Chain A
Amino acid sequence: MSLKERVANILKNDLLEITESKGDVCVEISRQTLVNALKRLKEEGGFDFLSDLLGIDNSDLYAKPKKKKKKTEDGTEQEQEEKGPPPPRFEVVYLLLSLSTNERLQVRVRVPEDDLELPSVTSLWRSANWPERETFDMFGIRFNGHPNMRRLLMWDEFQDYPLRKDYPLEGKGEERHLNYNIA
């Protein structure tokens, strides 16, 4: 049984979409069933290692929808994209690895802009701790149940989320000020 079939068997109804891209199996699930589905993937599918967790800002899809559609080759897909609602702006990708079989799996979750919250998976994989903090730092997606939901890279007083597409590359002139207690 191929990896694709096994993953489909494990996820069953939680599976929204399963594709294959550049040799990797890519699964999309909804955020309501996220923790449950990932738990089953870990226990039944053998994906015992979370190699990375990252965020994606898809706001380019809103900005230039026509250009994006021209790139697709299949005509039927074009019509479907036009009819369907625009995808939620943010996306979180879980890159799973099975240490016993050396198989990899991408799990994608869409996060709408008006409700930037996801359940934390630090209870399943402890390696999710810092990547979740980084995703919060860069995109502003909060992970509920995380033991230490603070910024990882930028300083605590920093206001913006710099990896969002609407944030300018050179920043908005933020400076860090620290008042040391010099007694």
Chain B
Amino acid sequence: MKFQAIHGEGWLLTKAEQLINWGRSRSPWPFPYGTACCGIELMCALASGYDMARFGAERVAFTPRQCDVLIEAGTITKKMVPVLKRIYAQMAEPKWVIAVGACACSGGVFRTYSTAQGIGSIIPVDVYIPGCPPRPEGILYALLKLIDKIEADHPLYKQRSKVVEALEAAK
């Protein structure tokens, strides 16, 4: 009984998770990784007409260490794959990825020797946006979908199961 807050899905755990998710979902700071024409649409979505800041994507940082959401907008060439991997590795947990446009999703029309066929095989992607390029509304919709995903997350439950596994392994 006294471990219910940690061991079961108790009241404290749930409320703490809600608090954490509330904070995370209302400040998904984006890292704009614009490599092609999708980057222009991303700029449009960030600028005052569409204003992604309404949904908490307020502060665009140009260092991956201060970001939560990697918005990969554009074609990724095979030459650039290690750079993308490194940028993803530099981001602090928790981190999410949005793949904007056909090139980031699947390579798009560039089925060639030089283009990576989608970034899903390089880094884990949370939301894919189709389109060539997608309209800013599409990017906003993807951000809202990502916020839904963050709110449905169980950050403490995941940690708890890790702790339980470690305790059982120690026994």
Contact = CB atoms under 8 A, between A and B. Distances in A.
B86 interface: yes
Contacts of B82: 176-178, 180
Contact of B81 (A162, A167, A168, A176): A176
B25 to A, nearest CB: 32
Interface string B132-163: 00000000000000000000000000000000
A170 B81 CA distance: 17
Contacts of B81: 175-176
Contact of A169 (B78, B86, B112): B112
B111 interface: yes
B113 interface: yes
Interface in B3-18: none
A170 B79 contact: no
Interface string B64-83: 00000000000000110111
Contacts of B83: 178
Nearest to A151: B79
A171 B79 contact: no
B114 interface: yes
Contact of B79 (A162, A176, A180): A176
A153 B112 CA distance: 14
Contacts of B86: 178, 180
Interface residues of B, number: 10
A154 interface: yes
Contact of B113 (A171, A177, A178, A180): A171
Contacts of B113: 162, 167-172, 174
A151 B86 CA distance: 23
B116 to A, nearest CB: 9
B131 to A, nearest CB: 23
B78 A170 contact: no
Contacts of B78: 155, 174-176
Chain B CB count within 10 A is highest, among A153, A168, A170, A177, for A170
Contacts of A175: 78, 81
A169 B107 CA distance: 14
A180 B82 CA distance: 9
A154 B112 contact: no
B60 to A, nearest CB: 25
A178 B89 CA distance: 14
B79 A154 contact: yes
Nearest to A167: B113
Given A155-B79, A168-B113, A170-B113, 17 more contacts: A153-B79, A162-B113, A162-B114, A169-B112, A169-B113, A170-B112, A171-B113, A171-B114, A172-B113, A174-B78, A174-B113, A175-B81, A176-B81, A176-B82, A178-B82, A180-B82, A180-B86
7 contacts: A155-B78, A169-B112, A169-B113, A170-B112, A171-B113, A178-B82, A178-B86
Interface of A: 153-155, 162, 167-172, 174-178, 180
